[in-house]
Structure 1
Amino acid sequence: MQTIGLIGGMSWESSAAYYKDLNLGVETRLGGYSSAKTVMASVDFAEVTALEEAEDWDGVATILAEAARGVEKAGADFLMLCTTTFHRVAEQVEAAVDTPLLHLADVVAEAAKARRVDTVALVGTTFAMSRTFFTDRIASHGLQVHVPAPEQHEMVNAIIYNELVHGKVLDSSRRKIVELIDQLWDGGAQGVILGCTELELLIEQADVEVPLFPCTTLHVEAALNRALA
């Protein structure tokens, strides 16, 4: 089994989901007392969020690259960024180490193609929806990618940052996101990417008819496939 390097803390709720799901996945696949071999560096979410808001992406890259180097020194065979938004600096992080990075956008794109979906919509943080660093990477796999209208971004962002990152899961917010997903489906999306780990705390496939592509779940599955190959 390979050792999985986790760069987390963005938020800690997201990192906890990654850690739990990786260990449950290994236990399911191997049985007995088996658990995942992992090393994690967890950064201060307040610090990197402040840098994000200041558009200081070199500062974010410096922090995450240092975390990556620590995880690499601890024996990781490959790395994962336990976040969608901060994949904005994924290339800079990968360049700082010799250990390969399992890029989330590549994983999601391959999952969509496996389902024969060629048009997807991304729901995530305002930054992830309003910038193209993530959607362009997905589109490079031959997919069309849409995002909600700009006037809907703040609603999604508020649910993520004011509720989900603090562990608050509200039925009223679930209804809002389900309504948004239905609108995206009506607008031509053949599938919807849950582009923020915390959204998976709120929305499940049973809540909607359109196929969902939950980033954390898919990222974890790809990591397990690699670690256990």
Structure 2
Amino acid sequence: MKTIGLIGGTSWHSTIEYYRLINDLVGKEIGSQGNPELIIYSVNIELMREQNKEKIYSKYLEVSQKLEHAGAKAIVICANTPHMVYNYVQPKINIPILHIADATGKKAKKKGLNKLGLLGNRPTMTGDFIPNILQVNYDIQTFIPEIKHINVAHNHVSKELTQGHFTSEAKQFFIQQIELLVQKGADGIILGCTELPLLVTQEEVNIPLLATTELHAQMAVDFILS
């Protein structure tokens, strides 16, 4: 099995979920007699909260180079938002960063989906690091909520969901956003936050949901076992 490096910490809850999913999925393929070799580098979440792009880019490059030097054959960033560093870091290292948008795009195409609504925190919804790859690599159009709703979504994610608080108010808000994105033309919804699939389940809506964490973990497993 190939060794991969995991960059986590934003949040550490998400990092645990990646570690669990990757080991579970590998176990389903090879049995319980073994498990993959993973190198985890946990970044202080304060780095992202500072919103200093140059500092963020520099740190993720440093960490990626350390993981490569330690023997990782690929890198998985264990959250959606830090993928903002991809275009800066990838050309400067010699191993691939397995991009969360590629994992999402491949699944969407298999399902025949071409217009996706994107939900998550503010940086994920307003950034171009997911929509650009979906458009260029998979010819998939992306929709996001209205600005006033983006701010509310961000507060629910950053102040509640990532802290383990799941309220009926948040559930109803995101279900409403899914309905509004469908009205814009979405034929699928990206749950671009590790905790969102725990809040809103497929059984509660009538449109395909794409949980990025699960798809990204499967992409990592495919690489490990390739």
Per the alignment, residue 21 of structure 1 pairs with 21
5 Å matches for 1:73-222? 73-140=69-136, 141-222=138-219
Structure 2: runs of 5+ lacking an equivalent: none
Is structure 2 residue 15 aligned with structure 1 residue 30?
no
5 Å matches for 1:23-62? 23-50=23-50, 52=51, 56-62=52-58
Whether the aligned pair in 2 keeps the contact of 1:41 and 1:68 (CA below 8 Å) is no
Distance 1:5 1:66 in 2: 13
Per the alignment, residue 4 of structure 1 pairs with 4
Q: CA deviation at 1:186?
A: 2.9
Identity of matched residues, %: 30
Q: Which runs of 4+ in 1 moved over 4 A?
A: none
Whether the aligned pair in 2 keeps the contact of 1:10 and 1:43 (CA below 8 Å) is yes
Deviations 1:136-175 (A, max 9, x none): 2211121111111111001111111101221222233122
> 2:36 is matched by which residue type in structure 1?
A
When structure 1 is superposed on structure 2, of 198-207 and 114-123 the one drifting more is 198-207
Distance 2:32 2:15 in 1: 24
Distance 2:12 2:85 in 1: 19
> 1:191 is matched by which residue type in structure 2?
G
Per the alignment, residue 72 of structure 1 pairs with 68
Whether the aligned pair in 2 keeps the contact of 1:41 and 1:70 (CA below 8 Å) is no
- Give the number of aligned pairs: 225
Deviations 1:53-97 (A, max 9, x none): xxx211101111111122112211111111211111112222332
**What secondary structure does 1:133 align onto?**
coil
Distance 1:210 1:177 in 2: 13
CA RMSD in angstroms, aligned pairs only: 1.4
Whether the aligned pair in 2 keeps the contact of 1:146 and 1:189 (CA below 8 Å) is yes
